[in-house]
């Protein structure tokens, strides 16, 4: 990736930027299979969550979009409450 900086009389300066980006799309997560097995939808988690949780956040978690640890914890609490289970992070996500 190159970035152009205007430099007065000189036309421009090109600087190469490192492309070491974190992989954000990690594919379907175990959460998706678990919710399907428990016959729970995104709305069930949103309803069961004691903290603010949106349908979009649940959908992103199921699709494998990388989430913060805090968001993973919110999803875990909602799944345990809605699914009446005692699941752990490793049951829902294949990354940390």
CATH code, 85: 1.10.260
pLDDT at residue number 3:
57
* Phi and psi torsions of 30, nearest 5°: -55, -25
Q: 14-38: per-residue pLDDT in tens?
A: 656 565 677 888 889 999 999 999 9
> Is 13 a domain residue?
no
- Give Rg (Cα) of the chain: 20
**C-alpha distance from residue 33 to each of 18, 28, 55, 87 (Å):** 36, 9, 17, 13
Residue at 7 is within a domain? no
Q: What Å distances lie between residue 71 and 7, 58, 75, CA to CA? A: 43, 9, 6
User: Is the pLDDT assigned to residue 4 strictly greater than 90?
Assistant: no
- pLDDT in the model for residue 8: 58
Q: What is the value of pTM for the model shown?
A: 0.75
In a domain, 5, yes or no: no
């Amino acid at each position: 990736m190159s970035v152009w900086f205007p430099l007065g009389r000189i036309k421009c300066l090109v600087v190469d930027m490192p492309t070491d980006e974190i992989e954000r799309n990690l594919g379907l997560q175990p959460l998706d299979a678990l919710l399907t097995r428990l016959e729970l939808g995104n709305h069930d988690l949103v309803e069961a969550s004691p903290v603010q949780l949106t349908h979009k956040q649940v959908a992103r978690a199921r699709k494998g979009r990388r989430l913060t640890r805090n968001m993973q914890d919110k999803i875990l609490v909602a799944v345990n409450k809605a699914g009446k289970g005692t699941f752990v992070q490793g049951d829902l996500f294949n990354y940390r």
